């Protein structure tokens, strides 16, 4: 379509998080924006002007969107987010009362007006909103009413079904479940990132299952140029890129005041028991310590390399276990350097949060696809769920229970021995890996747009106010 004279249809592309922010959620929006023109759609990106101080900046990501029209909207983040964050009480109050998130006041009012201004200048064929923050879904619903064009909402994360989320109270969850229902009712198409997410939504909203689509995250082959890099021949390098939580089996109540302890025990609500410690390096570090206690000569044959957020508590554990000689912490790296670290590794570590009960994990983790693109085998400490199924189906590595330090220890021993013997390589299923090419995934999103737009973009009319 992009190769003929047919004019492209304009997409009002709402993505609060967008380059140069460097967090993982930014990649999805950036790559869709990069490849949508190839399928006949011109994204007009509406994003924030003010950056959240907690977000990392990676200006190298701007290369993907250098030909994209970007409209940056300055909201009230300074007054609703930045200033309250300086005082703990005000931070808690704004997070408690402003639902589903503080952007409902910090960005939504100004963003709505900015969107209408864009629509006055450009004919809009489809509205697309990337979620989270979940207030962007509320914005999308309002814009659909005002502009009268189809609306696609893309849930990068679950909303009410988020099993990790700690709700201030059951009333908060009830209120947001009603917001979610209104969003699902109004949306012309709903996109989610994993099969289990779709199943969860279909069980609660069976009447809208037919308009729910799975478009996974993925990787861009252009981010993986042929690199003349290779792991050292005499040492197994296990790499990890991304955010890791603190290694702590449970919240230490002694750190909290009496009101906080009462709130956590009597009022706050979480849908199921969750062990966040499995999304830390703790179990891997303890497994390596056990291995070195049994085989001291392995100390110069293994190196753990971490790039990204690595909390001080994790460094304390490294020192406590006396693993300073086998752990290297790089801190946050630009995306290109992060990819290089993957390519320099023998094996890539993938930890994930463990759910309580018999819940399947609905998380893929964005990094799993770049791991697949690197063709490096994956050491996955993951629960039963979509990620484990994918790694197994793609023959991309080895999966162990995220709590099982003994299994990890045995597997790492085997990997060191295979590394020394030169038999570490695996043979992943290339057909499965190619499914997650960002261009192919954008083709799927364009197909959703195609199903909703039956008129040529030149016939769409701007909003009049």
For 300-314, the pLDDT digits (tens) are 999 999 998 888 888
| Residue ranges of domains in the chain, CATH in brackets | 9-218+437-459 (3.40.50.2000), 222-432 (3.40.50.2000)
Closest CA to 330 of 341, 319, 317, 314: 341
Q: Return all residues near 290 (Cβ < 8 A) that are at least 6 apart.
A: 405, 406, 409
- Alpha-carbon gap, residue 276 to 283, rounded angstroms: 12
Q: In the prediction, which pLDDT does 250 show?
A: 41
pLDDT-wise least confident of 21-25, 130-134, 241-245, 289-293: 21-25
Model-level pTM? 0.87
- Alpha-carbon gap, residue 116 to 69, rounded angstroms: 16
Tokens found for residue 207: 């009447």
Contact 183, 153 (CB under 8 A): yes
Task: Show the CA angle centred on residue 450, arms to residues 446 and 454, nearest 5°.
Answer: 155
Residue 139, classified by CB atoms within 10 Å of its CB into exposed (0-12), middle (13-18) or buried (19+), is buried
Mean pLDDT, the chain, rounded, equals 86
Q: How many other CB atoms are there within 10 angstroms of residue 461's CB atom?
A: 11
CA distances from 84 to 80, 101, 166 (A): 6, 14, 20
Contact 346, 415 (CB under 8 A): yes
Q: Indicate the pLDDT class of residue 255, thresholds 50, 70 and 90.
A: very low
**Top-confidence range, 58-67, 214-223, 250-259:** 214-223
CA distances from 368 to 3, 388, 396 (A): 33, 10, 10
Percent of the chain, pLDDT > 70? 88
Q: Return all residues near 440 (Cβ < 8 A) that are at least 6 apart.
A: 218, 434
- The pairing of strands 354-355 and 274-275 is antiparallel
- Alpha-carbon gap, residue 347 to 342, rounded angstroms: 8
Give bridge partners of residue 129 from the DSSP assignment.
14, 153
CA distances from 132 to 28, 83, 168 (A): 12, 22, 18
Q: Indicate the pLDDT class of residue 455, thresholds 50, 70 and 90.
A: very low
């Amino acid at each position: 379509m992009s190769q003929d004279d047919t004019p492209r249809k304009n997409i009002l592309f709402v993505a609060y998080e967008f380059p140069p922010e460097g967090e993982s959620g930014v990649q999805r929006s950036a790559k869709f924006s990069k490849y949508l023109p190839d399928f006949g759609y011109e994204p007009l990106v509406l994003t924030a002007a003010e950056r959240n101080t907690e977000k990392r900046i990676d200006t190298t990501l701007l290369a993907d969107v250098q030909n994209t029209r970007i409209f940056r909207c300055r909201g009230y983040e300074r007054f609703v987010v930045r200033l309250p964050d300086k005082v703990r009480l005000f931070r808690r109050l704004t997070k408690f009362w402003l639902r589903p998130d503080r952007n409902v006041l910090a960005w939504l009012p100004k963003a709505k007006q900015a969107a209408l201004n864009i629509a006055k200048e450009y004919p809009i064929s489809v509205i697309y909103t990337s979620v989270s923050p979940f207030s962007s879904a509320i914005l999308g619903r309002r814009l659909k009413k005002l502009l009268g064009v189809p609306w696609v909402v893309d849930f990068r994360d679950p909303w009410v079904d988020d099993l990790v989320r700690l709700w201030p109270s059951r009333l908060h969850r009830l209120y947001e479940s009603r917001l979610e229902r209104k969003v699902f009712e109004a949306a012309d198409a709903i996109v989610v990132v994993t099969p289990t997410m779709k199943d969860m939504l279909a069980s609660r909203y069976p009447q809208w299952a037919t308009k729910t689509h799975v478009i996974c995250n993925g990787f861009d082959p252009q981010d993986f140029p042929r690199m003349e890099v290779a792991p050292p021949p005499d040492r197994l390098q296990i790499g990890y890129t991304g955010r890791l939580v603190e290694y702590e089996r449970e919240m230490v109540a002694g750190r909290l005041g009496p009101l906080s302890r009462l709130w956590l025990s009597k009022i706050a609500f979480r849908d199921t028991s969750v062990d966040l410690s499995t999304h830390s390096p703790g179990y891997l570090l303890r497994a390596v310590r056990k291995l070195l206690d049994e085989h001291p000569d392995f100390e110069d044959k293994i190196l753990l390399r971490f790039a990204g957020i690595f909390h001080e508590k994790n460094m304390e554990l490294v020192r406590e276990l006396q693993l300073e000689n086998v752990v290297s912490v790089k801190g946050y790296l630009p995306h290109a350097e992060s990819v290089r670290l993957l390519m320099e590794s023998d094996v890539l570590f993938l930890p994930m949060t463990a759910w309580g009960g018999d819940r399947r994990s609905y998380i893929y983790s964005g990094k799993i696809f770049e791991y697949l693109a690197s063709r490096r085998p994956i050491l996955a400490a993951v629960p039963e769920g979509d990620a484990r199924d994918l790694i197994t189906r793609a023959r991309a590595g080895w999966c162990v229970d995220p709590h099982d330090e003994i299994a990890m220890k045995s597997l790492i021993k085997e990997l060191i021995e295979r590394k020394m013997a030169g038999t570490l390589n695996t043979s992943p299923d290339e057909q499965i890996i190619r499914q997650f090419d960002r261009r192919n995934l954008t083709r799927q999103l364009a197909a959703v747009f195609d199903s909703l737009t039956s008129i040529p973009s030149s016939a769409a009319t701007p909003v009049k106010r």
